Structures are given as structure tokens and as C-alpha cells.
Amino acid sequence: MPTKEEHDEVLAEELEVLESIYVDELHKVSAEELRIRIEPEEDVIPSIYSVGVPLGETAPEPEEDAPAPVELSLRIRYTDDYPDQPPDVRIFVVRDVKGILGEATEEDQAVPEPGEDEDEETRESITKLTADLLEVAQESLGMAMVFTLASHLRESLTTYIQTRIEQLEAEDSARREAELEAEAEKFRGTAVTTERFAEWRKAFEAEMKAKAAKEEEAKMAKMSPKEREEYKKSKNKPTGRQLFERGGSFVDDDDKAEDDAQEVDWALYTREQRERERIEEEQRRELEEQAHRLALADDDDDDE
């Protein structure tokens, strides 16, 4: 264990070196306690601002002289036998605008002022960074190690942020792919088979029939009793196609009685028969016209 003079000399020499390196970052709380502001390396800062920005949009540019989006405070409390034993090391989150280090719980708090009660940071990221830093401290026993600890924390913080951003991007990409697949599934539909089409057609026809019946009911509700009766009679009359298919007359039964029209059995006639009769009728008319013209010519000769 070093004497008090040796201990004080080591602290004084180390403090002089640290003050020359961390001009703005170092805060001497007391002869036994230091606090150093730790920020990630500059090349990772643009990636932090891009977290949470929708695909295709540009991350906002940070304002000039704006503080780093992630900032830690490394608290060093020297022990009596430092550097033969590591100092008491604590890490506090000062700023984390994008939540890279995880959400703070009720136990987490802002950086405590000297003399205030201090609660352990419960964020997994800080627990990991602290455990890693303590390993480095054990490897550095016997020598001034605060600069080594601060430098290592900056490097490990940068590495953690890079890894975390990659994870967030992978999660975001997987979420977008799932959303696109779900959207595509809406338009992909179901493969059409004979059975499925038959089921669809049956349901569709039933739906159309119900719809037509509803419209028919609404239409008849607006009619007078007499109009409704006439409308029902007209609905019961066969169509022209139905008459043709069963060889019936196109003349209404009432009109048939009045006109005494002869009923034609269209079922006895094929299309070829009707066409042949049409041609024969045209030929007959043509012969009649020729005979008529010849008769007129004979009459003219007799007059002369």
C-alpha cells in the first residue's frame, strides 16, 4: 500500500496530465473525486440522428455547437491504495436524445451532485459498459489509469452505439418487410378452383336474388292495388324466347281471340327450312313479275 505522500503525488501528477488532455471535459469535484464528460466518436454522431427517421427522409442536421446526442459522465473516486487498487468507478447518462442506451427507469436519475444520494443506473447498456470498464481497471493496476479508463469508455460507447444502430435498422427493415408482405397478401387473394368458383357463384346468385326480391318488394309497395295486380299479370307472361323455345304463339291470348290469328308451331321449322322457303318465295315472286311483264308486252303488240 503506498504511503499518503506517494498517493498524493500520484494523484497530483495524474491530475496535471488529465487537465492538459480534458480541458473542457474534466471537472475536479475534490482532491479525491473527478468527473469526466464522455461523448462518442464524431463519425458515429450522424448515424445517431438518423435513428427513427422514416425511410426516404433525411435526418435533420444538428444545430451548430449543439451538444452531442449521447453524453455520459464518468465519475472517479480514488481509493486510499490507488493505483494498487482500482478507483471507485460509476457511469451516469447525461443525455440520450434517441434512446440508444435504453429507456430510463424510475430508479435512474440525472447525474447526482456531489454529496447527493446515488442510485445505480439500471439500464442494461450502462451495466455492460461499467463491467467492461472494471475489467480494464483490473488490468491496469499499479499505474495511473484514469486516462486509460476514460479513453476505453469512449471507444466502448462508440462500439455499443454502432451495434445498437445496426440492430435498430435491422428491426426496422424486418418490420417494413412484414408490412409490405401483409399489404401484398391483401391483393394476392385466393387461387380460383372449380369448387371455389361454384361456391362463390352459388352465394353470389343467392345474394342477387335476395337483392332483387327486396327491390321488387319496394317497387310494389309504391303501387296502388290495381297497378299491383296488373304488374303481377305482366310478370307471369312468358317471354318471347320462352314462347319460341316451346313453340308457342307470340300473340297474347286475349289478342288471339280478337284477331283470330292462326297459331304457328315454330318448333316444326328449322333455320334451314325457313331459309329455303324464303328463297322459294323470292323465286316465285320473280316468276310472277316476269309473266306480268310478258303479258303487258303482248297487249302492246296487239294494239299496233
Per DSSP, the residues of the chain read ---HHHHHHHHHHHHHHHHHH-TTTEEEEETTEEEEEE---GGGHHHHHTTTPPTTSPPPPPPTTPPPSEEEEEEEE--TTTTTSPPEEEEEEEEETT-TT----TT--SPPPTTS--PPP--HHHHHHHHHHHHHHHHTTTS--HHHHHHHHHHHHHHHHHHHHHHHHHHHHHHHHHHHHHHHHHHH-----HHHHHHHHHHHHHHHHHHHHHHHHHHHHTS-HHHHHHHHHHHHSPPHHHHHHTT--SS-HHHHHHHTPPP--GGG--HHHHHHHHHHHHHHHHHHHHHHHHHHHHHHHHH-
70 and 108 inside one domain: yes
91 and 152 inside one domain: yes
132 and 227 inside one domain: no
160 and 221 inside one domain: no
170 and 213 inside one domain: no
CATH number for the domain including 148? Answer: 3.10.110.10
41 and 91 inside one domain: yes
**256 is a domain residue:** no
Listed residues 192, 218, 236: the one ending a domain: 236
**102 is a domain residue:** yes
151 and 205 inside one domain: no
166 and 77 inside one domain: yes
Give residue 225's domain range. Answer: 200-236
- The pTM of the full predicted model, rounded to 2 decimals, is 0.58
37 and 147 inside one domain: yes
**98 is a domain residue:** yes
Instruction: Quote the number of domains for the chain.
Output: 3
**79 is a domain residue:** yes
**252 is a domain residue:** no
Reading the chain (304 residues) residue by residue, the pLDDT tens digits are 778 888 889 999 999 999 999 999 999 999 899 999 999 999 999 889 888 877 777 777 777 778 999 999 999 999 999 999 999 999 999 999 999 998 876 555 555 565 554 566 789 999 999 999 999 999 999 999 999 999 999 999 999 999 999 998 898 889 888 988 888 877 776 677 888 888 888 999 999 999 988 888 888 888 888 887 887 777 776 666 666 666 655 555 555 544 444 454 545 556 667 777 788 888 888 877 877 777 666 555 555 5
**258 is a domain residue:** no
**247 is a domain residue:** no
